[in-house]
Structure 1
Amino acid sequence: MSSLPSLADVKVDHEGRIIWPYILEAERAALKVASTKPGSKYNDPLIGIRVLGFLLQDLWLHDRHSFGLIPYKNLIKHITSGLSISGYAVRGKEESKARSKNLQDMGLYYRNHLIRVFRSNGGPIPTCSDHPSRQSLDVVRDRILSEMKTPTTESSARANALMRDGYRCMLTGHYDFDSVILHPELEDRITANDTSSVTQCAHIFSETAQDGEQKSEYAASAMTILEIFGLNNKAENLVGSNVHKYFNILTMRSDLHVLFDRLQFWLEEVMGEEHTYKIVSVKDKLFMTAIGRRERVTFRVDPDVAAACIARNSDPPSLPSPSLLAIRAACSRVAHMSGAAEHVDQVLRDLEDTPVMAQDGGSAHLLETRLLQLLHPVDDTKP
């Protein structure tokens, strides 16, 4: 976890510099509380204020994507509203405490939604080996293309992504092992330099929490994340079966899918090069070895699929959305700079090792932290 930069070092505009002292004030308040609890592994207020601060700076530094400065201005407006505490009857230290708590809670509000939308703990979508049919690639492609306008299910999402991506991992180019077994004609494409691996269907916005009450909570989280980027109208496209649409899915090697879901790497758009991304990781050296030293990747629809769409006079399947990838990249960077990603990993590890209802009460704060992360967000700071 990194400390927030000082006022002299922070990279924001004049508006950001006006409110930065209040953000630092809230960070100092959280650190002071932490110092009174030696040995405590959790400090939600500190995580919250660092999420807020690093998110503000990140949105200023990455203004070249398609959103421009809209997200930055939206967050400035939200933070400014959180500094309006005229309703408090006391001033001085009490005013400072109230202001700091407002900002800390606001950061936790974003953290809770960020984790719900991007930090997936769900199991993998079924692989091709779960479907024993040995139809030819042409038959499978024509069937999928004819069903493009029908609702997409969890089980069909992977088949759709594989077809669009030429049955290869979009990051490494590895052929999907199950597909090669299922469709022997793929062997004709494989050269001596090609490799096969187990692949899965990865989602930009998480596929978890899509049913019942969780569905409405997920919708609220998606709306919160999209709202700050000025994309409120896209929220309905990321709820229910729409989360499995082409624009939100990637074929990805299974080990990379796990790291992607844990926010260990993300894709940053290369300006001026369509559907081209720089692959960025927290553990850069280790990850670059795992991914075969690739530093960037260009996405494209498989040529055979594109040709089949032309013959059918229909649009090809959408590639992963640059806008959604940009949002995920911003949230991934902030999750690591603020310590939120490490914090969640620690909580999940402890939940595996700790009896949540320990008789001595030692796990009470662990349970509270877990509930704060994954249940209802803070309502009084909603933008």
Structure 2
Amino acid sequence: MDASPLPPHPSFQDESVARAYSRCRELEKTLAMEARVLGYLLLLAPEEEGRRYLASEINPDPVDDSGNKTDDSVVRGDETLCLLAKLYIAAFIRCFRSAKGPTPDPSLHPSHISFEGNVVELSYKLMEPPSSHQMAKHKAIRRDGGRCVATGKYDLLTAQSDASSLEFKIPPDAPCCMTEAALIFPSSINRNIAGGNEGAAKNDWAASVWAVMEHFGNVRVLDELNGDNIHRLENVLTLSHDIHSAFDQLKFWFEATNANANEYRLRTLWSRLMVDKDTIVTLTTPDPQCLPLPSPKYLALHAACCKVAHLSGAAEHIDRCFRDLDGMRVLAEDGSNVDVLMFVLEGITV
């Protein structure tokens, strides 16, 4: 999926959204990437309420129900819209885009699923969300039947361990892989943002992320994902290491088929990834109350982010910033790497 110009004449039910999209098409002549970020967000927004909210931020001249300009109308020029696009790159696309991919702690691996025996057996029945990544992994393994939800392969170390306390059985000849607990919304946005860090760049970035997700994605983040709630099972998927890496780098996503509940078509930009890009999977759970499924709303936001990032060219921009950041020691005298410096100062590296 390469960066693509905004398609002409899409149909929108809301006139204000249509006007905002036309503004993006006009802006595309001078600020292609930024215009495409905003335009594709309008096209691919998973929530109609979020689409209308973004349109209200883009439209230069607010109007009342009669079509007349209101007294507080504000002309939003190219510079303002450019800043708006950068906010969505930093607080929406960058939120889901991992800096360096998953780095699992071996101590959190499901091979330890049996070492606490009764503790793990009882803890999965607690209604409260998991309080740690380790407990989230234990619960996700039980919910997902010990398998990567994308490939269906069983977790290797669970297959090799004493899994007698688990409800599922792993066939002796079943294909296996190394799996990890993948968070849809990353835990990094809740890390080191309180106490002495309040008011710092990282705290401001997290606040921006939550504001964007609440207005654009209808995710009530302070209620749903604040603090330890980031580990709730609705935010966790069991994925193989390679799928997890692609998922965190916006190269793999779950696209709802809208045919059946919790049914998704797998999409990937990595042609050599060991999964058919048109595979359809249905996520299931043996206990909807204690082991809830990943949130369709969270997965829809992640899918929209992947598509917007690549169609707009923002993903390539972020990747380039990471590459430049790795090799940068000082700011160039000619200012050629100022974008990378701003990438850091805006608090969007974690």
TM-score (norm. length: structure 1): 0.75
Query: In structure 1, how many angstroms separate the alpha carbons of the residues matched to 2:346 and 2:204?
Result: 17
* Native 8 Å contact 1:276 1:298 kept in 2: yes
Inter-partner Cα distance in structure 2 for 1:190 and 1:137: 24
Over 3 Å counting, the alpha-carbon distance change for 1:11 and 1:47 in structure 2 is same
Q: Does residue 167 of structure 1 match 2:146?
A: yes
Task: Evaluate the alpha carbon distance shift between residue 108 and residue 24 of structure 1 in structure 2; reply closer, same or farther with a 3 A threshold.
Answer: same
- In the TM superposition, 1:86-97 aligns within 5 A as none
* In structure 1, distance between residues paired with 2:86 and 2:301: 18
CA root-mean-square deviation: 3.3
Deviation at 1:256, TM superposition (A): 0.6
Question: Could you say if the C-alpha distance between residues 246 and 51 of structure 1 is closer, same or farther in structure 2, counting changes exceeding 3 Å?
Answer: same
- Show CA shifts across 1:269-309 (max 9, x none): 122311111112234x434xx115661111111x4xx3xx9
Matches within 5 A, 1:218-367: 218-231=206-219, 233-283=220-270, 285-287=271-273, 290-292=274-276, 295-301=279-285, 303=286, 306=287, 315-358=289-332, 362-367=336-341
Unaligned segments of structure 2, at least 5 residues: 63-68, 194-201
Residue 159 of structure 1 and its aligned partner are, at CA, apart by 1.8
1:117 aligns with 2:95: yes
Q: Give me the whole-angstrom Cα distance separating, in 1, the residues matched to 2:203 and 2:137.
A: 21
- Over the matched positions of the two proteins, sequence identity in percent amounts to 26
> Is this contact kept in 2: 1:161–1:250, CA < 8 A?
yes
- Asked if the contact 2:108–2:133 (Cα under 8 Å) also holds between the matched residues in 1, the reply is no
Q: 1:358: Cα distance to partner?
A: 4.5
- Deviation track 1:181-236 (CA, whole Å, cap 9, x = no partner) reads 232558952253x21111111111112132233356324302312312334x3443
Within the candidate set 131, 139, 156, 1:177 is matched to: 156
- Contact 1:267 / 1:329 at 8 angstroms: preserved in 2? yes
Count of equivalent residues: 329
Please point out which of 133, 143, 148 is paired with 1:154.
133
Q: Write the distance in 2 (CA, Å) between the matches of 1:368 and 1:247.
A: 33
Decide which structure has greater helix share.
1
Structure 1: any 5+ residue segments left out of the alignment? 31-45, 90-94, 310-314, 376-383
1:333 Cα deviation (Å)? 0.9
Matches of 1:138 and 1:272, distance apart in 2: 40
Instruction: Name the CA distance, whole Å, in 2 between partners of 1:241 and 1:116.
Output: 21
| TM-score using structure 2 length | 0.81
SS at structure 2 position matched to 1:170: coil
Larger Cα-atom Rg: 1
Q: Is the CA contact (8 Å cut-off) linking 1:74 and 1:228 kept in structure 2?
A: yes
Task: Output the CA distance in 2 between the equivalents of 1:355 and 1:85.
Answer: 50
Q: Distance in 2 between matches of 1:106 and 1:82?
A: 16
2:12 alignment partner in structure 1: 12
CA contact (8 A) 1:215 1:239 kept: no
